[in-house]
Structure 1
């Protein structure tokens, strides 16, 4: 991977990639009961192709549309990609699928990093060559304007909230937990996974909380550790993370999910479930127990794949 690409993680990273390889961007649009997630991307194996996945949380439907690889186009100097006649960037979406079309613009955008050149969520891990999968956040939150229309009517997203992230690499890890939610003007994301290493594995942590115009970053490379993970009789997952300065407490309940195709080493052949209406509670406290932030959402997106209890094992 060229050095300059590591400093522009939101842009297309796969110019020189060889199979197995995937790269996908995740756009989440919310406004009241309207909930749509759009995932444009590419996969190089077993047959190179582009794709667009659409998850409709309001109607409980999902779809995967495959395109020729030649239908994928990208800008090298900034984040802007196209899959067929569908165009995606950090400022807008232009969607022209037969089953869903419309235009969405993003204003009041809060990027993950204000500096143009940055390593994003991966931090120093951006330069580690053997990682199975990498994760990035493009937009923490933005205000939406526009609408999308399908065969049943028009969904107005004006005034809603947008979120954008991405993944790229050889395959999704397993096991892993991912969740993202907005709490009023605050935003949270967690990606917790078993990361293969030469000769072993470790539990990798990438998370952030944006609140009060301040971003708290929780990651393996900043000293964050998973101290507790368990599931109670009511089906809730409870997690506690420790950092040198804070304690992060999570409670997550996942209900029925939507089918999502995910990358494995043999292509987009894994089916996972994503719940667009999971229940998530987050509390951030100082080491002395004082609450810094507390929030709850019944509209968190969440995925759990594999046996999460394996995340407690050491390398």
Structure 2
């Protein structure tokens, strides 16, 4: 079962955890007209101080940027042992479906969303998931999983008094689990490029490890059904790094490939994040950023594009 979960990070990983543990899934849904982006973050916080399940809702439209954190009793969190299926009260989350019925004083959301045509990661014995060989280390402070680089949507959501059509919209699915988020990190994601099949996720963080720390890089670009991965574990190098108040710029190299990534933040708002399993910290994220990418092979430009509706977190 342990090795099955390594190959399926979307499964609930914390069934044996008793204290100082969190686990959360991240569904980012974008309507086909790009006017509405909503992220659902269902999860569980296991600790002695304030144990509970939760659903964090992050809504971005032209006119508003809001977050809501809805708490549930820990025993309302149930899961499947042999597939990705999580239920919090009457809310259902799977790889292929979201069934939401939130009736809270903060926000009301009802509806069903189907997810299909997923774009999973390529994996191998060396890199069974996005963590690469670090996936085999059981005591990492924070683990990351990418469930789908891109999925297509059908269905609608009624958010308060407005019905939003998500038919032919797009989704991105990932998750985190462990004790705490890294103290410093950059995270980017977009799958809204002019090339409909392009998607990118980018993570650069200070990783605690055996009393020390190191800079960990994981970047995955999908273009024309091919993955271009730049990571610490496949010996990619950072040739240039600029982190400013509202933008970042990286040049990465892996073998014959170079990737230029420039991201510009838009509006951002605070979300809750874990520290030793307690949802007591905050991060800042936006859902309407822009990511410019240029991919070179042997110093020849082979692809250039701009991604919109980008999720961006810069905590440096």
TM-score (norm: length of structure 1): 0.91
Partner of 2:12: 12
Query: Shift of residue 193 of structure 1?
Result: 0.3
Partner of 2:143: 134
CA distance in 2, matches of 1:20, 1:245: 43
Query: Shift of residue 199 of structure 1?
Result: 4.2
Choose from 76, 84, 87 the match for 1:79.
84
Are 1:52 and 1:66, in contact at CA under 8 Å, matched by a contact in 2? yes
> Does residue 230 of structure 2 align to residue 218 of structure 1?
yes
> Does residue 127 of structure 2 align to residue 122 of structure 1?
no
User: What secondary structure sits across from 2:83 in the alignment?
Assistant: coil
CA distance in 2, matches of 1:229, 1:42: 35
CA distance in 1, matches of 2:136, 2:123: 20
> Does residue 64 of structure 2 align to residue 40 of structure 1?
no
> Does residue 181 of structure 2 align to residue 179 of structure 1?
no
Map Cα deviations across residues 34-93 of structure 1 (whole Å, 9 max, x no partner): 211000000112222110000001131110001111111111111111111110111110
Are 2:259 and 2:296, in contact at CA under 8 Å, matched by a contact in 1? yes
CA distance in 2, matches of 1:34, 1:241: 32
Q: Can you give the 5+ residue segments of structure 2 that lack an aligned partner in the other structure?
A: none
Are 2:122 and 2:227, in contact at CA under 8 Å, matched by a contact in 1? no
Partner of 1:69: 74
Choose from 234, 253, 261 the match for 2:272.
261
Q: Can you give the 5+ residue segments of structure 1 that lack an aligned partner in the other structure?
A: 307-315
Partner of 2:176: 167
Partner of 1:310: none
The structure-2 alpha-carbon separation of the partners of 1:105 and 1:170, relative to structure 1 and needing over 3 Å to count, comes to same
Partner of 1:270: 281
CA distance in 1, matches of 2:212, 2:218: 19
Query: Shift of residue 271 of structure 1?
Result: 1.2
The structure-2 alpha-carbon separation of the partners of 1:54 and 1:107, relative to structure 1 and needing over 3 Å to count, comes to same
Partner of 2:219: 207
TM-score (norm: length of structure 2): 0.91
User: What secondary structure sits across from 1:119 in the alignment?
Assistant: coil
Partner of 2:30: 30
Are 2:22 and 2:274, in contact at CA under 8 Å, matched by a contact in 1? yes
